[in-house]
Amino acid sequence: MYETERKELVEILRSKGISNQRVLDAFLKVERHLFVPDIMKQHAYKDVALPIGLGQTISQPYTVAYMTQEIDPQPKQKILEIGTGSGYQAAILYELGGRVFSIERHNDLYNSAMKMFDKLNLKIAARCSDGTIGWDEFSPYDGIIVTAGGPTVPINLKKQLSVGGRLVIPVGDKQVQTLQIITKISEDEFQTNEVPYFAFVPLIGKEGWKEK
């Protein structure tokens, strides 16, 4: 279903500068319409963020592709995602062969993402908790993707990254963020590149924004 729409979306992503063919192939394969509410299905292959309930969104495909391309997960690498949401980003990472760990703070979103992972037989480890403190048990991770914007980079996420690994996280105020692409050079050395003008929902937690 929606094969033509997926091909068209991939062409849009390519025209916007996504060049990693493995990433584009994952977008051809993973069915985004399964991760959006029924009334949104006809918009599933537009390059826009869509509401998934509880004031949260499934990110814009371009943003998912951009962040995935920056991490460039290789088969069997351990990838941690903060902000499972619909589960779509996690499914893309899994399609690329990653061993995916994902954390969501909203119980309802966590439950429906888990159901979809089960239905699609995706072996993704997920839990419902505050992702700003990471998931120490399975660290270090080759890549960490944070899909919500925080005021600073959580220290635990930097700690739980392997040397040579990459952390991609939007940092800024609640309206607009800069995407920080952080490479761990050694245990205490990091190199950061910044890409401006992203807009994510807030990262709420111990090392994020405080809930009102």
Give the footprint of ligand SAM on this chain (CB under 6 A).
56-59, 82-83, 85-86, 88-89, 103-106, 109, 130-132, 147-148, 200-201, 203-205, 208
Distant-in-sequence, close-in-space partners of 137: CB < 8 Å, separation ≥ 6: none
Q: How many CA atoms lie within 13 A of 46 on its CB side?
A: 8
Q: Is 59 a known active-site residue?
A: yes
- Residues paired with 202 in a beta bridge: 149
Q: Position 162: which residue type?
A: S
Closer residue to ligand SAM (CB): 157 or 182: 157
Alpha-carbon distance of 4 to 203, in angstroms, equals 34
Alpha-carbon distance of 169 to 195, in angstroms, equals 10
User: Measured from the CB of residue 152, what is the shortest distance to ligand SAM in angstroms?
Assistant: 13
User: Measured from the CB of residue 145, what is the shortest distance to ligand SAM in angstroms?
Assistant: 8
User: Measured from the CB of residue 189, what is the shortest distance to ligand SAM in angstroms?
Assistant: 26
Q: What are phi and psi of 25, to 5 degrees?
A: -65, -35
- Residues paired with 99 in a beta bridge: 78
Q: DSSP assignment, residue 175?
A: S
User: Measured from the CB of residue 63, what is the shortest distance to ligand SAM in angstroms?
Assistant: 8
The three-class DSSP label of residue 20 is coil
- Provide the CA 29 distance to its chain's centre, in angstroms: 17
User: Measured from the CB of residue 86, what is the shortest distance to ligand SAM in angstroms?
Assistant: 3
Closer residue to ligand SAM (CB): 85 or 165: 85
- Residues paired with 193 in a beta bridge: 181
Closer residue to ligand SAM (CB): 24 or 145: 145
Closer residue to ligand SAM (CB): 103 or 181: 103
Which candidate in 19, 59, 139, 186 is catalytic? 59
Give catalytic residue positions. 59
